[in-house]
Amino acid sequence: MKRPHHPFLLLWTAYLFCAFAAKDEAAEVDEESHPDPNVENYSGMIYIGRLDDDGKRVGFDADNGIKYIFGTGFDETHRKIEEADLHHEHYGPDSGHDVADKAHGKTREQVLHEKRIGQLDLSKGPKPFGWFEEHPLDGGAVPPKVVRVEPFFIDEAPVTNKDFGKFVRSTYYETEAEKFGWSFVLSSFLPNAEQLQSAEVDPEAKDWVAVDKAYWRSPEGPGTSYKYRENHPVIHVSHRDAAEYCKWVGKRLPGEREWEAAARAGHFGPNNRTLYVWGDEQATEIAKEYANLWGDGDFPWENKAEDGWRATSPVKSFKPNAFGIYDMTGNVWEWVRGGKHKNRIVRGGSYVDSLDGSFNHAATLGARATLHGTTTTGNVGFRCVKVPKRKVEYHYVYENEDSGPQLVIEGADGKRKQFQQYARQDYGVDESDDEFDEDNDVDPTKPRPDETRGRKKVVKPRTLTSDEL
């Protein structure tokens, strides 16, 4: 014989079930809303942020941005920035101010004066990267600044042809090189020498030839293919193409400072900055283990490929830097965020560059060039970054206004946002109430009679997360 179902029993069971379900959900949401940077990992990405003594990532409750010296690798003026400067906040584009720190008894005017009378001598020794007279395409921060970078994740390697192919197949994305119908290819790579006769070259870079129908799938023009280079960085992509790809994978292009902080891999102080990933040695023997550069041969016709590659190399073919990031120097230049459309920034140098800048660019950690945003060439690619989830605390405050109850959200910064509340929609389950309350059949759209709303601060703060991309 079947047991009769008591309708009330059913209701009770349903209630309990809901109560537990609701509680479970609440617990889960609670956990997720307190992101611990130590559990947030993205495959193929490296975390750049502060670590504590045990090597664990510092949480957002503490200051976990890193400060470092941003500037060129060639000039030595960063040594004038005292260690203590790393602990001061320096913001803004005024680099004079960054050296002129009141704590060191110098005003901005004094620093500028020293610069003018040559005490901060920028002309001796190797030229800073981006010495304008020599490389009109280059930039660089001289003197360097102390800057701050918030934590982020960066791709451990540049985006490959294979990665980019997925994007194109999923979105039918047409790159700018395809739209324009041509792209720049290094002259010595052209399969047919006769193409050089009628070649249009970039007046700023005469070894780059405008080749019709060259684009990422046909890196040297019709008849060539990326097929055997699936694991090489994608090339012939414009700044926009790069940004669109990153957006598609839920990331974004790195900021220039972020890029450099990742490239320097912790060697960001006044005393431990180095010219190159591997240190300061200017020797092909050492460089060839870390970076795909041109090497010792004469550019552009003689490439001895000491590092094993004449043009791009598969990503991760060389040793990574101290953070485990590959190909930051050499292989391809990488688009970064920012700049103006006519002056987008690329960092890192490429396979055509040299160690000392005797031809093309010096592939230092400070290597920097600017290109028109639509430029596409056979030696510029990119990688993406992602910003970790950040804890933002909001306190909900109810306030009694004449116009009705108000919901006020107070952020951690103390700023308040006000929302009109017409009625409380969600009594839901009172978590403090474990006992089933038979009389709990009030109309949930009406306030409870015992509810006091007069400037009542809701005791339990709620925490939301935001992924600030």
Ligand X SMILES: *[C@@H]1O[C@H](CO)[C@@H](O)[C@H](O)[C@H]1NC(C)=O
Span of 7-15, 191-199, 264-272, 406-414 interacting with ligand X by CB under 6 A:
264-272
Token pair recorded at residue 132:
């304008």
Instruction: State how far the Cα of 278 lies from the Cα of 61, in Å rounded to an integer.
Output: 34
Instruction: State how far the Cα of 345 lies from the Cα of 168, in Å rounded to an integer.
Output: 24
Residue 324 C-beta: closest distance to ligand X, Å: 9
Instruction: State how far the Cα of 394 lies from the Cα of 460, in Å rounded to an integer.
Output: 10
Span of 8-16, 265-273, 279-287, 383-391 interacting with ligand X by CB under 6 A:
265-273
The residue sitting closest to ligand X, measured at its beta carbon, is 269
**Site size for ligand X, by CB under 6 A?**
10
DSSP 138-156: B---SS-EEEEE--EEEES
Query: Does residue 38 touch ligand X according to CB under 6 A?
Result: yes
Residue 319 C-beta: closest distance to ligand X, Å: 16
Q: Which helix (DSSP H) or strand (DSSP E) does residue 300 occupy? A: none
Helix boundaries (H) for 64-175: 95-99, 108-116, 161-171
Q: Residue 99: helix, strand or coil by DSSP?
A: helix
Q: Which residues pair with 252 in a beta bridge?
A: 385
DSSP 35-61: --TTT---TTEEEES-B-TTSPBPPTT
Which residues in 52-91 contact ligand X (CB under 6 A)?
Answer: 83, 86
Residue 267 or 372 with smaller CB distance to ligand X: 267
Span of 161-169, 232-240, 261-269, 398-406 interacting with ligand X by CB under 6 A:
261-269
Span of 37-45, 302-310, 311-319, 391-399 interacting with ligand X by CB under 6 A:
37-45
Query: Counting every residue, how long is the chain?
Result: 469
Query: Does residue 272 touch ligand X according to CB under 6 A?
Result: yes
Residue 69 or 234 with smaller CB distance to ligand X: 69
Query: Does residue 148 touch ligand X according to CB under 6 A?
Result: no
How is the beta sheet containing 390-401 ordered, strand by strand? Answer: 416-420, 404-410, 390-401, 462-466
Residue type, 380: V
Residue 86 C-beta: closest distance to ligand X, Å: 6
Residue 69 C-beta: closest distance to ligand X, Å: 9
Q: Which residues pair with 386 in a beta bridge?
A: 153
Asked whether the CA dihedral 83, 84, 85, 86 is positive or negative, the reply is positive
Residue 111 C-beta: closest distance to ligand X, Å: 21
Token pair recorded at residue 62:
């503490």
Listed residue (245, 250, 261, 241) closest to 387, CA to CA: 250
Instruction: State how far the Cα of 62 lies from the Cα of 54, in Å rounded to an integer.
Output: 15
Query: Does residue 39 touch ligand X according to CB under 6 A?
Result: yes
Residue 322 C-beta: closest distance to ligand X, Å: 7
Identified binder of ligand X from the candidate list 267, 372, 424, 453, rule CB under 6 A: 267
Residues 210, 196: contact at Cβ < 8 Å? Answer: no
Identified binder of ligand X from the candidate list 41, 171, 192, 420, rule CB under 6 A: 41
Query: Does residue 43 touch ligand X according to CB under 6 A?
Result: no
Residue 39 or 62 with smaller CB distance to ligand X: 39
Residue 29 or 322 with smaller CB distance to ligand X: 322
Instruction: State how far the Cα of 436 lies from the Cα of 428, in Å rounded to an integer.
Output: 13
Span of 34-42, 111-119, 148-156, 442-450 interacting with ligand X by CB under 6 A:
34-42
Cα distances (Å, whole numbers) of residue 451 to 259, 353, 455? 53, 72, 12
Residue 321 C-beta: closest distance to ligand X, Å: 11
Span of 268-276, 355-363, 376-384, 396-404 interacting with ligand X by CB under 6 A:
268-276
Residue 55 C-beta: closest distance to ligand X, Å: 8
Query: Does residue 279 touch ligand X according to CB under 6 A?
Result: no
Residue 272 or 403 with smaller CB distance to ligand X: 272
Query: Does residue 266 touch ligand X according to CB under 6 A?
Result: yes
How buried is 259 (Cβ within 10 angstroms: 0-12 exposed, 13-18 middle, 19+ buried)?
Answer: buried
Query: Does residue 34 touch ligand X according to CB under 6 A?
Result: no
Query: Does residue 305 touch ligand X according to CB under 6 A?
Result: no
Q: In the complex, which residues of this chain contact ligand X (CB under 6 A)?
A: 38-39, 41, 83, 86, 266-269, 272
